[in-house]
Structure 1
């Protein structure tokens, strides 16, 4: 009964379908990214030892998170440079940027560790972009955190 009601709601509610499609696309994008990062042994955990299986999963999660963090820092730095150069950044455009980028990564290339001893500059997490207009447009369309939770 509940499934039927949800299906009918989904079929009759175009904004709900758009939200579900957007969420599904994000999940599929993350899954493709995860498979790309965990390429060793074609993503198959061949060890029957639960401890080794857990290690492989955690190492892959660590690698995924490191790549996502690096991509996010790069995106933030580019946005910061554009803002400093006088460009206006539409929050709507930023909402479509994904940190699941892989094109710039050479998995099979040479790796250098000579930078390990170099201390990076302090990172400033503040990004001067006003997301209020984006939030307001979402509210106008009926998109709230509570509404998004109900859609799932």
Structure 2
């Protein structure tokens, strides 16, 4: 579930201009076109089935809809359906504290996922400085391999700690564990550890 950027600037749509939505009237300033959705519903279902059954690649369908003329009625139907779905989601997000907390937790996990590679890929600050495709792929594959190795190690260690605590009588439920990230990285030394011994003077 996404957190929508520039939430205060989002346009919200009503589905019936004659209905009084009370306190929401000043937010629902435009009306979605239900008629065109009903008109194109059969074709919209065909597109959905094609995507679900993978008989047509998603990028081909998106490209077709994106490049269609402004008068294309199927594209208009999808646009209006999207407006309704987006409006419903934004209203839920504004009024549902639990939903907002869920979205924030997912964002935090995603941020951890981005911070870990940046921590490992320390020399170039996480940036590829070459245009060579093969070198980029080698670096990306190596970075992915190391990231997954750290994730695996963290999972094993956290599982061991949880098991030890439970054996000691601590109550740790699965709901609590669902809030624990498996991507901490400050215990990882990206530069390695070097041991330098003074040479004995002869």
TM-score of the two chains, using structure 2 as the length reference: 0.49
Once structures 1 and 2 are overlaid, which stretch shifts more, 55-64 or 18-27?
18-27
- Aligned with 1:96 (options 179, 182, 193): 179
Aligned to 1:42, the other structure's residue is in SS state coil
Aligned residue pairs total 112
**Which structure is richer in relative contact order (CA contacts within 8 A, separation 6 or more)?**
1
Alpha-carbon separation, structure 1, partners of 2:173 and 2:90: 35
Q: Offset at 1:91?
A: 2.2
- The 1:85–1:15 alpha-carbon spacing in structure 2 relative to 1, beyond 3 Å, is closer
- Mark the runs of 5 or more structure 1 residues left unpaired by the alignment: 113-152
- The 1:91–1:4 alpha-carbon spacing in structure 2 relative to 1, beyond 3 Å, is closer
- Mark the runs of 5 or more structure 2 residues left unpaired by the alignment: 1-82, 196-202
Q: Which residue of structure 1 lines up, in the alignment, with residue 166 of structure 2?
A: 83
1:24 aligns with 2:110: no
> Looking at CA atoms only, which structure, 1 or 2, has the larger radius of gyration?
2
RMSD: 2.1
Alpha-carbon separation, structure 2, partners of 1:98 and 1:17: 18
Q: Which residue of structure 1 lines up, in the alignment, with residue 94 of structure 2?
A: 11
- The 1:50–1:10 alpha-carbon spacing in structure 2 relative to 1, beyond 3 Å, is same
Once structures 1 and 2 are overlaid, which stretch shifts more, 26-35 or 87-96?
87-96
TM-score of the two chains, using structure 1 as the length reference: 0.63
